[in-house]
Amino acid sequence: MFTNLADHILACALPQAKPEWIAKVLSQLIWLTADNGDEICDTMDVWLLQDDKRKVEIVLNVDGIFPFGGGPKMIENLQRVENRWPELAGRCDEIIQAWRKQHERQGE
C-alpha cells in the first residue's frame, strides 16, 4: 500500500513510461487535489534527494512548481543533483534561472 498519490502513480506506471509523461500527470494532479498539491510536492522534494535517477527526472520535468518552494534550499539541492548526474545540469540550471527571473520581476 502506498501512502501518497505521487508514489502510487509512479508504482502503477509502466516501466517504459518516460519521466516527462509521469511528470505531466503529476503537474495536472497538483491543481486537482484538495490540498493544492502539497502532498505531491512534498513527495517530489523527497524524491529529489534520493538516489533514484528516474524519480529525479520526473521532478525536474514537473511544470508549475519549484522544488522546495524555490529559494536557497531548492538551489542547494539542484546543485547536488547536478553533481550526481551532470547530464541533468542543464535542466537544473533552467529551473534555477526561471525561479530567479520570477523573483526579479517581483522585486524580491
Q: What is the mean pLDDT of residues 30-42?
A: 93
Residue 104's pLDDT band, with cuts at 50, 70 and 90, is confident
Structure confidence at residue 76 (pLDDT): 97
19-34 average pLDDT score:
95
**Residue predicted with more confidence, 17 or 64:** 17
pTM here is: 0.91
> Do residues 40 and 30 touch, judged by C-beta distance below 8 A?
yes
Task: State the angle between helix axes of 19-30 and 53-60 in degrees (0 to 180), rounded to the nearest 10.
Answer: 50
CA nearest to 29, candidates 45, 43, 44, 40: 40
- Give me the number of domains the chain comprises: 1
Q: Which grid coordinates are listed for 42?
A: 512534498
As a whole number of angstroms, the distance between CA 74 and CA 39 comes to 17
